[in-house]
Chain A
């Protein structure tokens, strides 16, 4: 009850209102897009998983941007639909993957480099894209709200998304084993220690592999 009163009081303030949502998405997108710009220029700072950034990297190193573009754009599309229907826009799929990877890949595949290369321009591009996404969600929300109680399988996708993360730990160990014996041992030990500490084992596997890899370097 207190919560309801509070929501009503704040319904028109920036922090709670629907009208400010596009602005929040815009600020987030500006930062994330600029992060991709930094990755493009300096090789650090992309706000995404290694696997997804690797798709963008494939394009940057002379391959095709097709995978990154199609993957990112489709995720963005799916998440915009879902976000306006369930009330929570999935940050990972829409902004980090869609705006951070998909849209830069589309621009780069068309040979438009400036918005990705130039930092201030990247901030501006991200902001505009985010404002548009936020506005679409605002519109869809007002158009469909109250018409349907469907979740559109959000729970199914969330479950699958979380399961994916669990696979990364064992995969990293399997991959470390093929790099070299010391690195494989390091990854296994690191993962075991992290597991005993109740931490995600992927982190332990990476750190273990890095420590042994530092003392017993391998060639690329």
Chain B
């Protein structure tokens, strides 16, 4: 029963995700005329394979093994399934029959349909095989992957993004540092703050303080305020500065359940 449920759900999920990933990727080759869904790395890598079916296939295969290991270990597909495996494999299959890029890899209709099929196969395979593996493998994966992942997400990622923000210019460095520190305090991870810092810093650098950048800054500040409130950061802050939270603030928290 368990197995059948996973099988059926995987087919549905794979079809949906594959279909959207294929259309999104093909539309990238027509951006910015057409709004696309994908990633710059996918665009660059698919161009790098130069329409050679074997290159597309083997590129996808390398990440497929990585995704398989990660799924077996921790139940996580990695983002590579949608970014690399599905688009590259469906491009490879389409290119076997027709070498014209505009009619195959850049065509959202053909990529969408082919990617839906690939998505069903890939997602089902990953889920079904990984839900039936020996326990000793899972323990190994957890022992190895979880500590590595924790360091990556809490230390490495924030530092890389932070240094990138600093190198990108004085404004993004300043906004990145302030928002990064605030995000680490409030949200528990600095990355979102640094990303928003880069966004605003570079935005101001490129177009100045226009209505768009002002609205963005206001929205970011609002995001921080709301996050702080819902994680009870305000109460904790007052407490650690040796002050008591005023009654009205406490009752607000009680009213919302935060």
CB of B187, distance to nearest CB on chain A (Å): 3
B145 adjacent to A206 (CB under 8 Å): yes
Q: Which of A113-158 contact B (CB under 8 A)?
A: 119, 123, 137-138, 141, 144, 147-158
Give B42-81 as 1s and 0s: 1 = Cβ < 8 Å from A's Cβ atoms. Answer: 1100000000000000000011011001111111111101
A162 to B78, CA, bound (A): 14
List, in ascending order, chain A residues with CB within 8 A of B43's CB. 88
B9 adjacent to A38 (CB under 8 Å): yes
A44 adjacent to B21 (CB under 8 Å): no
Select from chain B the residue with minimum beta-carbon distance to A190.
Answer: B69
Q: Which of B16, B131, B192 contacts A78 (CB 8 A)?
A: B192
* A176 lies within 8 A of chain B by Cβ: yes
Select from chain A the residue with minimum beta-carbon distance to B40.
Answer: A158
* B221 lies within 8 A of chain A by Cβ: no
B172 adjacent to A156 (CB under 8 Å): yes
* A89 lies within 8 A of chain B by Cβ: yes
B144 adjacent to A34 (CB under 8 Å): no
A134 to B160, CA, bound (A): 30
Give B192-209 as 1s and 0s: 1 = Cβ < 8 Å from A's Cβ atoms. Answer: 110110110111001100
B19 adjacent to A34 (CB under 8 Å): no
B73 adjacent to A210 (CB under 8 Å): yes
Q: How many B residues have CB within 8 A of the partner chain?
A: 112
Give A85-100 as 1s and 0s: 1 = Cβ < 8 Å from B's Cβ atoms. Answer: 0111111100110000
* A207 lies within 8 A of chain B by Cβ: yes
* B161 lies within 8 A of chain A by Cβ: yes
B149 adjacent to A49 (CB under 8 Å): yes
Select from chain A the residue with minimum beta-carbon distance to B29.
Answer: A3
A203 adjacent to B187 (CB under 8 Å): no
Q: How many A residues have CB within 8 A of the partner chain?
A: 107
B206 adjacent to A213 (CB under 8 Å): no
Which of B74, B123, B223 gathers most chain A CB within 10 Å? B74
* B117 lies within 8 A of chain A by Cβ: no
List, in ascending order, chain A residues with CB within 8 A of B183's CB. 70, 74
A47 adjacent to B17 (CB under 8 Å): yes
Q: Which of A28, A66, A219 contacts B24 (CB 8 A)?
A: A28
A66 to B66, CA, bound (A): 29
Q: Is the interface of B mostly helix, strand, loop or mixed?
A: helix
A206 adjacent to B34 (CB under 8 Å): no
* B41 lies within 8 A of chain A by Cβ: yes
CB contact under 8 A between A207 and B65, given known A7-B34, A213-B137: yes
CB contact under 8 A between A46 and B164, given known A28-B37, A71-B188: no
A41 to B74, CA, bound (A): 14
A82 adjacent to B199 (CB under 8 Å): yes
List, in ascending order, chain A residues with CB within 8 A of B23's CB. 15, 24
CB contact under 8 A between A45 and B139, given known A50-B74, A91-B83: no
A153 to B42, CA, bound (A): 18
List, in ascending order, chain B residues with CB within 8 A of A159's CB. 164
A28 adjacent to B187 (CB under 8 Å): no
A52 to B43, CA, bound (A): 23
Q: Which of B38, B66, B223 contacts A202 (CB 8 A)?
A: B66
CB contact under 8 A between A213 and B136, given known A32-B17, A91-B39: yes
List, in ascending order, chain A residues with CB within 8 A of B187's CB. 66-67, 70-71, 74
* A62 lies within 8 A of chain B by Cβ: no
List, in ascending order, chain A residues with CB within 8 A of B66's CB. 200, 202-203, 206
What are 26 A-B contacts defined by CB distance under 8 Å?
A2-B102, A7-B33, A15-B107, A15-B112, A24-B20, A31-B15, A35-B77, A47-B81, A49-B78, A50-B145, A70-B188, A71-B192, A74-B183, A89-B36, A96-B79, A110-B257, A152-B198, A157-B199, A158-B40, A160-B160, A163-B164, A178-B147, A183-B140, A203-B62, A206-B73, A217-B140
Interface residues of B, Cβ cutoff 8 Å to A: 2, 5-6, 9-10, 12-17, 19-21, 23-24, 27-28, 30-43, 62-63, 65-66, 69-79, 81-83, 102, 107-109, 112, 123, 126-127, 130-131, 134, 136-137, 139-153, 156-157, 160-161, 164-165, 168, 172, 183, 186-189, 191-193, 195-196, 198-199, 201-203, 206-207, 210, 212, 216, 219-220, 223, 227, 231, 257
Beyond A92-B82, A157-B164, 5 extra complex contacts between A and B, CB < 8 Å: A44-B75, A70-B188, A123-B12, A161-B41, A167-B160
